[in-house]
């Protein structure tokens, strides 16, 4: 048994990648070292959501994930979200200022809409409460996601 | 970043998990079992724990089950909090879980991790204490089943090598009336100053609490007192003497305030439910 770096195979944004990782490495660091800097380090403690990525379509904080855990998983980072619908709604509703929290919010909102295209207010609030924004007043973010729900943007994809 | 090196294992069987643990112990090294791994990551990042090996239990079949079978709700220890909330069909468990951490964090935090956490809160245990659950433990000699009251808190009762496989509880109990309150200092998403879960089961009022003392507690003597008391104030005075350890006194809340809140909550429960009991 040894501590040597391991090779992991993982699908990131539709491409299968083979990466060398330290066994103690956190996936947030692996992603950023691989040039995927959209996942942002904030608290690194599971509190702020700025590092949110999708693992098999489920939002997960990359700072709370060992790289060894993602072997053979399907990962989406903000770089892989080609569909710009959520981004445009954020723009329309002024739901960002400095933008640091935005990739985490957008992926979380995207996953919410995939899982609950008609999310009620309580469900939406519960999901969005996972992220912290130091700039906006949160209402703009809620407005952006509400807009997407009202426009039924993700209903077709889901059903 | 975790600054030290370790070895990461993802065994597919309980036997392998225990064998790996045993091997590291025999080499005078420190292994640790992980379910969600989030607490281990946070503590390792701060060098509060420095395991030589992480034994991730998530790949063991059966550790993900959450189903009603043979009259029992059975939840595997690697079931995430969100999965347990959605699939257990246990209203109180769902409500309690939805107040733990955030929606995203609950996609990773597990039942096993919450119950065996080194933090004082472990709020997911409260509905399990109220329903007198049983815990299936894996030991080097095979699986054993214990009453939750005999093995919780795990940090005091689990022997080296032992790990939690499943929790079982009587399916008939889950639909009984329940009560839940969590008092936090600021935002709703936070550790509790005090949280209280209660169930009204037949003629009993069952009460469990977190945040008051170093471990979550089922308050059996208080439950009896409430039923017998003519004046609820009489049993509130006794509460402190039923606690096995001092009330937490820290920067989040002073002990007097925690006790004050707890008494108010108990009073509300008694007033609401005594008429019906
Ligand atoms: C943002 C945030 C907010 C939080 N808020 C709350 C809250 O409001 N209330 C609350 O109660 N908790 C809260 N927590 C704490 C959280 O519930 C615990 O840290 C929990 O331990 C994490 O679960 P895990 O599955 O990731 O644990 P892990 O990191 O896998 O393990 C935690 C501990 O349990 C042991 N363990 C895990 N599985 C087993 C097993 N099967 N058998 C034996 N031992 C095992 C591990 O060895 C370790 O010591 C919060 C955590 C975060 C990150
Ligand atoms: S950096 Fe991961 S949750 Fe804050
Ligand atoms: S826009 Fe700056 S942190 Fe949210």
CATH number for A86: 1.10.150.120
Q: Is the pLDDT of residue B203 over 80?
A: yes
The answer on A90 and A46 residing in a single domain is no
Whether the Cβ atoms of residue B194 and residue B183 lie closer than 8 Å to each other = yes
- pLDDT average, residue stretch A27-34: 97
Q: What is the pLDDT of residues B17-75, one digit of tens each?
A: 999 999 999 999 999 999 999 999 999 999 999 999 999 999 999 999 999 999 999 99
Residue A58 CB less than 6 A away from ligand 3: no
Residue in A47, A66, A101 to test binding to B, most B beta-carbons within 10 Å: A66
> Nearest C-alpha of chain A: how many angstroms from B58?
9
Task: Check pocket membership of A88 for ligand 2, CB cut-off 6 A.
Answer: no
Same structural domain for residues A28 and A67? yes
Q: Same structural domain for residues A90 and A124?
A: yes
- Closest CB to B38: pick one of A29, A59, A64: A64
Whole-number pLDDT of residue B47: 97
Q: The domain spanning residue A37 has which CATH number?
A: 3.10.20.30
Instruction: Return the SS3 of A117.
Output: coil
Question: Would you state the pLDDT for residue A152?
Answer: 86
Structural domain contains residue A159: no
pLDDT of residue A1: 54
If asked whether residues A75 and A93 sit together in one domain, one would say: no
A64 within domain boundaries: yes
A120, part of any domain: yes
pLDDT band at B276 (very low <50, low <70, confident <90, very high): very low
Site to substitute for ligand 1 among B37, B78, B109, B163, most atoms within 8 A of C-beta? B109
Q: Residue A9 pLDDT > 70, yes or no?
A: yes
Chain A residues with CB-CB distance to B45 below 8 A: 44-45
Does some domain include residue A27? yes
Burial class (CB in 10 A: 0-12, 13-18, 19+), B102: buried
Domain count within chain A: 2
Among chain B residues, the shortest Cα distance to A59 is held by: B104
Contact B7 A23 (CB under 8 A): yes
Q: What is the mean pLDDT of chain B?
A: 95
Q: Which CATH entry fits the domain spanning B7-56: 3.30.200.20, 3.30.110.40, 1.20.140.10, 3.30.43.10?
A: 3.30.43.10
Do the domain assignments include residue A157?
no
What domain range is A93 assigned to?
A: 80-151
Give me the pLDDT at residue A156, please: 56
> Cα(A146)–Cα(A158) distance, rounded to whole angstroms?
17
Note if the pTM is more than 0.90: yes
Contacts of B5 in chain A (CB under 8 A): 3, 22-24
From A98, A109, A137, give the residue whose CB has the most ligand 3 atoms within 8 Å, as the site to mutate: A98
| Statement to judge: residues A70 and A106 lie in one domain | no
CATH 3.30.70.3040 fits B178-276, yes or no: no
Pick the ligand that lies closest to the CA of residue A101.
3
Beta-bridge partner residues of B196:
B181, B209
- Based on the fold, state whether residues A46 and A12 are members of the same structural domain: yes
Q: What is the pLDDT of residue B277?
A: 43
At residue A155 the predicted structure's pLDDT band, cuts being 50, 70 and 90, is confident
Cross-chain residue pair A26–B37, CB shorter than 8 Å: no
Does residue A62's CB lie within 6 angstroms of at least one atom of ligand 3?
no
End position of a domain, from candidates A28, A51, A79: A79
pLDDT bucket at B229, cuts 50 / 70 / 90 = confident
Mean model confidence pLDDT for chain A? 94
Buried b (16+ CB within 10 A) or exposed e, A126-157: bbbbbbbbeebeeebbbebbbbbbeeebbeee
Distance CA A10, CA A14 (A): 10
Considering the domain architecture, whether residues A13 and A51 belong to the same structural domain is answered as: yes
CATH domain B66-171 topology? 3.30.465
**Which of residues A79, A111, A132 is at a domain's end?**
A79
A1 is a domain residue: no
Q: What is the pLDDT confidence band of residue B275, given thresholds at 50, 70 and 90? A: low
Alpha-carbon dihedral sign for residues A39, A125, B124, B240:
positive
Hey, which of A37, A49, A60, A132 would you mutate to test ligand 2's pocket, going by the most ligand atoms within 8 Å of its Cβ? A49
Final residue in a domain of this structure, among A79, A108, A132: A79
Question: What are the tokens at A23?
Answer: 């066994």
The answer to whether residue A156 is domain-embedded is no
Q: Tell me the pLDDT tens digit for each residue of A94-152.
A: 999 999 999 999 999 999 999 999 999 999 999 999 999 999 989 999 999 999 999 98
């Amino acid at each position: 048994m040894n501590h040597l770096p391991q090779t992991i195979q993982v699908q990131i944004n539709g491409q299968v990648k083979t990466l060398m990782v330290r066994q103690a490495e956190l996936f947030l660091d692996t992603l950023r070292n691989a040039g995927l800097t959209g996942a942002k380090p904030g608290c690194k403690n599971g509190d702020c959501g700025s590092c949110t990525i999708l693992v098999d379509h489920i939002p997960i904080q990359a700072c709370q994930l060992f790289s060894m855990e993602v072997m053979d998983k399907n990962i989406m980072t903000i770089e892989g979200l080609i569909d710009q619908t959520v981004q445009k709604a954020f723009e329309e509703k002024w739901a960002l200022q400095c933008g640091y929290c935005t990739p985490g919010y957008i992926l979380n909102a995207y996953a919410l809409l995939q899982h609950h295209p008609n999310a009620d207010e309580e469900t939406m609030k519960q999901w969005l409460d996972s992220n912290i924004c130091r700039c906006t007043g949160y209402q703009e973010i809620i407005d952006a996601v509400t807009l997407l729900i009202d426009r039924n943007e993700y209903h077709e994809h889901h059903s | 970043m975790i600054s030290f090196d370790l070895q990461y294992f993802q065994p597919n069987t309980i036997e392998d998990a225990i064998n790996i643990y045993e091997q590291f112990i025999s080499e005078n090294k420190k292994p640790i079992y992980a379910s969600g791994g989030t607490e281990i990551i946070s503590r390792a990042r701060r060098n509060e724990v420095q395991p030589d090996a992480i034994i991730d239990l998530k790949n063991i079949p059966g550790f993900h089950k959450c189903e009603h079978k043979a009259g029992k709700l059975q939840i595997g220890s690697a079931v995430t909090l969100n999965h347990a909330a959605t699939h257990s069909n246990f209203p109180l468990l769902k409500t309690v879980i939805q107040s733990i951490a955030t929606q995203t964090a609950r996609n990773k935090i597990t039942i096993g991790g919450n119950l065996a956490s080194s933090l004082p809160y472990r709020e997911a245990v409260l509905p399990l204490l109220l329903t007198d659950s049983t815990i299936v433990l894996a030991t080097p000699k095979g699986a054993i089943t214990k009453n939750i009251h005999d093995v919780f808190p795990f940090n005091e009762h689990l022997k080296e090598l032992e790990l939690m496989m499943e929790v079982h509880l009587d399916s008939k109990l889950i639909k009984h009336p329940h009560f839940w309150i969590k008092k936090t200092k600021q935002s709703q998403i936070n550790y509790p100053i005090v949280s209280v879960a209660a169930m009204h089961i037949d003629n009993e009022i069952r009460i469990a609490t977190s945040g008051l003392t170093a471990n979550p507690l089922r308050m059996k003597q208080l439950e009896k007192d409430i039923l017998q008391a003519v004046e609820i104030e009489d049993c509130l005075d006794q509460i402190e003497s039923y606690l096995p350890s001092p009330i937490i006194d820290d920067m989040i809340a002073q002990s007097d305030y925690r006790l004050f809140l707890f008494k108010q909550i108990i009073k509300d429960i008694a007033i609401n439910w005594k008429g019906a009991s």
